[in-house]
Amino acid sequence: MTTNKNFAALQIVGVLAALLGSQSLVASEPLAGNALILLPSEGAIAGLGDGLRRGFGLAQEQSQLCGAPSTQWSIGWIKPGSDPAKQLSKRKLPPLLLAPPATPLVETGLLAASEQRQIILPLQRGASLQQLASRRGSDQLWPVSPARSLEIDSLVKAMVQANLRSFFLISDGSAEQQLLADRFLESMRLNGGVLLGTDLKARLIDPNKPKDLQLLVSDAEWFQPAALVVMSPQNSKLTLAVQAQTWPQDMRLAWNFPPKSLSKQVQIGVAEASKGPGWKSFELDFKKRFGYKPGTVEAAGYDAGQLVALSVLPAKVSARNGMGGFNPALTPKSVCANVKIRKKGDAARPLGAISNMDMKAATPPTAQLDVIQLEVDGVQLQKAFNLGAN
């Protein structure tokens, strides 16, 4: 669907936007345009900007090839975790802003409320989304990526289908893992699951304390749970310590990430990369353009770009209602079909690459997630779950 010639023009626009954004956001006052992309200026997440921009730019190109007007967008860099309002106080804002990864949601919501602007959250997935609806300005914050809680719901669905309803649940004690553990426990109980033993919630395990692990192994031998569910990041100290233990032969290990290393136990886990109905076509177009397979960052940039492209066509869109051209209740359509719909003045819903594009303000979208079972002999079984398909 794309051409090198057309995309070259967009790349030039992107370079000009980057030059604008490299100046102080406070000092510079360019034309508002259609969208402002805020990217982290430093730190471990700064590298995400390249993939996000590529996905975003691809969406703009495709929309223009289908007859939409050119998108006027610029880029600004902001220190990770800082209040965006302080750096945007003297800048004329466009109808849509793309917040940087890990943006502070309280301050971002206050910015949306005070400036009356819609703000897209391309890569916000963590536990903070669970409190998003209660924040001031949340009715103008739009998550693009599915929340991590959806991974937990998919894992629960897979375990229930496999009749793994009796379980132990442990956590490394970090705030996000504890929230995911609480979500898992609530969902499992609603589906007839039983937390064995004397624990009322996830047991906190310190991998630096051998007695914690010894007691856990002893309890597993006594209660014989169908699965030990571990809430901790891949390759964390707790994850590695659990893998090093000797467990009851029939007990499975369940993770909130995809299992990759072999174990004496059958393992089950959920892939972190979510997909929407538009993933396959996006993946093909992106690889043709850039020469590599996209991931979640590129897909989030693409879907955010699709939302911005809808706003370029002026029908039902104003400075205070940049998302006026989007309606999650509609049937998803292709880029070209949506351009025709928007030209008629109607709202539209894109085919999402990273999600089902059924998000609402303060409510993240659903998506397809793959649950992976890794056998002791290395054989991998995979099953897709789409809890929000409609």
Query: Model's pTM, two decimal places?
Result: 0.86
Confidence (pLDDT) at 247: 98
pLDDT at 329: 97
For the residues of 51-70, what is the DSSP string, one character each?
HHHHHHHHHHHHHHHTTPPP
Task: Tell me the per-residue pLDDT of 37-81, one tens digit each, with 9 for 90 and over.
Answer: 998 887 777 778 899 999 999 999 999 999 999 999 999 888 888
- Fold for 4-146+275-343, please state it: Rossmann fold (3.40.50)
pLDDT higher at 176 or 332: 332
**Residue 283 and residue 305: Cα distance in Å, rounded?**
15
At residue 374, the pLDDT reads 97
- Looking at the chain, the domain(s) classified CATH 3.40.50.2300 span 4-146+275-343, 149-272+368-386
Predicted pLDDT of residue 358: 96
Task: Please give the pLDDT value at position 204.
Answer: 97
For the chain, counts of helices (H) and of strands (E): 11, 13
Q: Binning pLDDT at 50, 70 and 90, where does residue 127 land?
A: low
- Max CA separation in the chain (angstroms): 68
Q: What is the DSSP letter of 81?
A: T
pLDDT of 134 above 80? no
State the Cα–Cα distance between residues 199 and 164, nearest whole angstrom.
Answer: 18
pLDDT digits 0-9 by tens, 347-390 = 999 999 999 999 999 999 999 999 999 999 999 999 999 977 55
**Per-residue pLDDT at 125:** 80
pLDDT value for 97: 95
Q: What pLDDT is attached to residue 389?
A: 58
**What whole-number percentage of the chain has pLDDT above 70?**
89
pLDDT value of position 21: 38
**How many angstroms separate the CA atoms of 339 and 357, rounded?**
17
CATH 3.90.1150.10 fits 149-272+368-386, yes or no: no
